[in-house]
Amino acid sequence: MPDRGGAVCDVVVIGSYPPLPGPATAATLAAVRRAWDSGAEVRVVSYRTGAAEIAVPVTGPLAGWRLDHVRQYFGGPPEVVLGLQRGVPFSDPQPSQQITTALGLAAAMRRFRRATLLVGEDPEVLPACFKIMAAAVDRFVVATPQEAASLVKQYGLKPGAVAVEPVEPYPRFPEGVELSTAGLYKPGAGTGLTVVQTPTTTLTDRARTRVRRAWGRAAPWSRK
């Protein structure tokens, strides 16, 4: 592995993680195992609270900003593996928001020496988003040759940029849950849901900002 300097790990893997079920979680687990097998020191970040060390919502237009905070949190590791799936990190269907998300992620991933996009399932975004990110990463990884061919065809990627890495299946639904009672785990059940962005500042910071704004409006020199 390359010298990681003052970083606490060689690789940070970001994606869906147990107990959340499904193919994206399977892809994340496979990426972690591959990194371990290569002798790397690995840290895992999940999009939602679960078994990972920390949970960070690397989603939406602020995804790049949050990814850079993850990089700083672990002391600047040389490599990142970022999972792509439906709704994460592209949480907003609006084209302008998707492009903003892609640009932010591309800028953040360039700060790592090596970056991989792990496609656990088709994120269903604009082809332009993939082209923006392709310029910032070393490769895309999928589970099967069929998925690789589909990715190349649908998003206009170069075949050499897409690698196939085997993935062991992971339960599509949590233990004891069936399709008839799957709720939000049911395919397509998330359609139409509103994604609420997590605040990026603390309550104290926001209170201070409100005080400063109020003071500015009240100060005589702020009036024209």
The verdict on residue 224 lying in a domain is no
DSSP 99-125: HHHHHHHHHHHTTSSEEEEEESS----
CA distance 79 to 167: 20
pLDDT in tens, the chain (224 residues): 555 667 889 999 999 988 777 889 999 999 999 999 999 999 999 988 788 889 999 999 999 999 999 999 999 999 999 999 999 999 999 999 999 999 999 999 999 999 999 999 999 999 999 999 999 999 999 999 999 999 999 999 999 999 999 888 766 555 554 545 444 444 444 444 333 334 444 555 556 666 666 666 555 544 44
The verdict on residue 75 lying in a domain is yes
The verdict on residue 31 lying in a domain is yes
Task: State the residue range of the domain holding 86.
Answer: 11-175
Number of domains in the chain: 1
CATH number for position 114 = 3.40.50.2000
The verdict on residue 206 lying in a domain is no
Among 112, 84, 92, 133, CA closest to 5: 112
Alpha carbons within 13 angstroms on the beta-carbon side of residue 194 total 1
The verdict on residue 190 lying in a domain is no
Burial classification of residue 143, based on how many CB atoms lie within 10 Å of its CB (0-12 exposed, 13-18 middle, 19 or more buried): buried
What pTM value is reported for the model?
Answer: 0.75
The verdict on residue 185 lying in a domain is no
Among 64, 34, 32, CA closest to 200: 64
The verdict on residue 208 lying in a domain is no
